[in-house]
């Protein structure tokens, strides 16, 4: 093989993938999500996610899987699910999805080997029931935490009944010491890393499991889909959670100073919230 053939083969091997899969991969890499993170958020196997990014829809079980998995993938990386599914349907319409060819063991039109009409209808009904049940289960169980959201802390609402409020304590001085994260539920995926540096920790944590952010880490950050299920302490003192609801976060600072400043900001916001004046009841003594 001459040098031109080798260069041609090398160029073909590195030809960029285009289409819906390339769009999904670019969005994932921009968010610095690993495929393992997307798999943990969507419960889609990594091998299927890799096939989607390569546009290899033939390796997926069916057309429905190709469209459904791509839609869920799009939600996690912040893309429009409708645009991605339209792009996938367009690629499938080009004939990229393989067609099932009859094997030599069962020739078309052989009545002795074809299933009966009753059996065919029963199987179709079972598949329909299974599909509806699976959709309802996945929508109810895995829907939370897949939509990226802001880290705004909701202001506390004023109570409808007038109550006397205790004076608000002034924010404490900056807390220092080791940052420790504790899983409050089973199966919480967490990734810690240095901004622009190495990965510090990545694992699905068990209930009660803890991880300490290394004191030598430079600008440590966190990615997770369940910030509401992580309690955080700095120097042994509890600080505010990163979020009070399930949502996908990426690149949030978890250094001692960043967490302390955020806790003080939450306290200031609570102190600035309007409160109802206390009701004073006058008691008159009768002689």
Taking residues 232-242, report their average pLDDT. 90
Q: Give per-residue pLDDT as tens, 29-46.
A: 999 999 999 999 999 999
How far, in Å, CA of 225 to CA of 144, rounded?
9
Annotated domain spans of the chain: 1-98, 179-272
Burial of 156 (0-12, 13-18, 19+ CB in 10 A): exposed
The whole-model pTM stands at 0.39
Burial of 167 (0-12, 13-18, 19+ CB in 10 A): exposed
Does domain 1-98 fall into CATH 1.10.260.40?
Answer: yes
Q: Give per-residue pLDDT as tens, 192-222.
A: 889 887 888 888 999 989 999 998 888 999 9
Q: Give per-residue pLDDT as tens, 74-133.
A: 999 999 999 999 999 998 887 655 443 333 333 333 333 445 566 677 777 788 878 877
> 186 pLDDT band (50/70/90 cuts)?
confident
Provide the token pair at 229. 């299920």
């Amino acid at each position: 093989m001459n040098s031109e053939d080798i260069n041609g083969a090398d160029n073909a091997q590195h030809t960029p993938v285009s289409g819906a899969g390339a769009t999904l991969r670019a969005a994932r890499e921009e968010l610095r999500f690993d495929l393992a993170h997307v798999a943990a958020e969507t419960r889609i196997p990594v091998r299927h996610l890799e096939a989607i990014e390569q546009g290899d829809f033939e390796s997926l079980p069916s057309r429905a899987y190709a469209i459904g998995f791509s839609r869920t993938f799009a939600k996690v990386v912040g893309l429009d699910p409708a645009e991605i599914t339209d792009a996938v349907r367009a690629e499938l319409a080009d004939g990229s999805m393989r067609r099932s060819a009859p094997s030599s063991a069962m020739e078309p039109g052989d009545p002795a080997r074809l299933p009966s009409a009753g059996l065919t209808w029963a199987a179709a009904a079972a598949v329909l029931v299974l599909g509806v049940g699976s959709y309802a289960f996945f929508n109810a169980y895995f829907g939370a935490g897949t939509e990226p959201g802001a880290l705004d802390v909701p202001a506390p609402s004023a109570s409808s009944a007038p109550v006397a409020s205790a004076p608000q304590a002034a924010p404490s001085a900056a807390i220092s010491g080791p940052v420790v994260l504790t899983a409050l539920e089973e199966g919480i995926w967490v990734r810690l890393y240095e901004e622009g540096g190495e990965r510090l920790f990545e694992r699905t944590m068990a209930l009660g499991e803890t991880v300490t952010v290394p004191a030598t880490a430079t600008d440590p950050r966190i990615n997770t889909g369940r910030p509401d299920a992580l309690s955080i302490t700095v120097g042994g003192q509890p600080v505010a959670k990163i979020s009070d609801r399930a949502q996908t976060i990426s690149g949030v600072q978890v250094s001692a100073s960043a967490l302390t400043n955020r806790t003080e900001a939450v306290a200031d916001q609570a102190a600035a919230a309007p409160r109802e004046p206390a009701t004073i009841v006058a008691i008159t003594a009768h002689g």
